[in-house]
Amino acid sequence: MRILSFMTLCLLMTSCGFQSLPTAKNDVEAGWAEVQNQYQRRADLIGNLVETVKGYAKHEKETLEGVIQARANATKTTLKVDQLTPETMKKFEAAQQGLTGALSKLMMVSERYPDLKANQNFRDLQAELAGTENRIAIARQRYIEIVNRFNKLVSVPFTSWTNSLIYKYEKKPQFETKAANQEAPKVQF
């Protein structure tokens, strides 16, 4: 009888999300870390891109300063996974969108400089940046999927019962961007 009771208890614990909720929380943390990693990669590339453009576009000081400022704003706006709320996500996205807009202006400025467009270093950085924008999109998509799974565990019975009794996890916020902001900046020449 004791063995049957123990087995029943184990079955209930595993079927009600006893282990799946902490696992899903860890997945959310890893997914968010990857999103931030890809945004940091972009910020690192932009520094090199700005330095390359400086040599060719000396009188485009305002645009270059705008990119540098937007990059600084984007890199100082970081969030740990336990700080994610709809409000903090909006601030994070606003900083990233500011950088995207400044970068688009920089790319338009570079159109005026044929020597810059022919520069191998610039072309390599441009290709890296385009690849990084794709990586950001993939990391964000994975994060969205992970958060969706986590939020289902937190809010849909039977795992939500375990959550309400033991863990008390809150649903995680998702990315909310405007339709116009959902495309990577155009970096074609």
Q: What is the pLDDT of residues 7-61, one digit of tens each?
A: 555 545 555 556 788 888 899 999 999 999 999 999 999 888 888 888 777 767 7
- What mean pLDDT value characterizes the chain? 81
pLDDT in tens, 96-119: 999 999 888 888 878 888 888 778
Residue 143 has pLDDT above 70, yes or no: yes
pLDDT in tens, 49-73: 888 888 777 767 788 888 889 999 8
- Quote the CA–CA distance of 74 and 58 in Å, as a whole number: 24
Q: Domains in the chain, start-ordered, CATH in brackets?
A: 24-181 (1.20.1440.20)
pTM, two decimals, is 0.75
Which residues in 1-40 are b (16+ Cβ under 10 Å) and which e? eeeeeeeeeeeeeeebbbebbeebbebbbebbebbbebbe
